[in-house]
Amino acid sequence: MCRTKARVEPRAQALEQTLTPTPASKMVAQRQRSSSCSSRRHLAGSLMFLATTAFALLLPRSSPLSYGIVIDAGSTGSRVHVITYHAGALLQLDWSRTSSLKATPGLSSFAADPGSGGLSIAPLLEFARRHVPRDSWVHTEVRLMATAGVRLLDVTTAEAIMESCRELLRGSGFRFQDQWATMISGADEGIYAWVAANYALGTLGGARQDTTGIIELGGASIQITFATDKPMPPEFSHVFKFGDITYNLYSHSFLHLGQECSI
């Protein structure tokens, strides 16, 4: 079973704040205190942050300075990442203008009341509005990606929670389509982490043998992803194209093996 204890993740390279429920208010913003976590936990937190920005590599590049919003709906909480990037052949993330906010609990905690799931991300959207210039809202895509916590729910409950989130996102003022709020597969979760890690290392777009494989430990699942030229079972084989380069990726997700779960 997954433990319901909430934790505050170490921040990555940009400011991250945290929302936690209190008796007076379900969501109260507070600045995350500096962490004394080990270097391994810090690296894991950084990769989790980078993974949520990986989709920005495919965003439209219509102006020199653009924005993107990603809501990472994990098992222990939901994080909004407001991403600022400069257009180009390979976009450059502007870390000085990139910020994050976390709200707890996660969407899977609303299984008994799916219609309230969307309300939990309302403070995250308000945070995004404060960090994206108003005249850029209509051009700024907002996407919500739910991961293993929601994947563990039955299909009907999971879809009801997702629909409650879509309803709120439709009226956010940002550019949104219903298919941009979805429950992503474990394989995709691993691929996003692989793209982000290799982007950060400067190996994305290079030769396969120069890339780095990843093991991503989430709250309710663990993902293993790497590039290979070896034959793979079809269910674990994925093709990822970046520019003129094509990578054959092995990506496998294991539910119930996350850091908040026990066998």
Check if the beta carbon of residue 70 is closer than 8 Å to that of residue 80. Answer: yes
Catalytic residue among 189, 216, 235, 260: 189
Residue 253 assigned ligand-binding role:
no
> Rounded distance, CA 15 to CA 213, Å?
27
Nearest to 46 by CA among 247, 214, 168: 214
9 is known as an active-site residue: no
Q: Which residues, other chains included, contact 263 with Cβ-Cβ below 8 Å and sequence gap of 6+? A: 256, 257
Check if the beta carbon of residue 51 is closer than 8 Å to that of residue 192. Answer: yes
Residue 220 assigned ligand-binding role:
yes
Residue 148 assigned ligand-binding role:
no
Annotated binding site for ATP: 219-223
Annotated binding site: 219-223
Residues labelled as active-site residues: 189
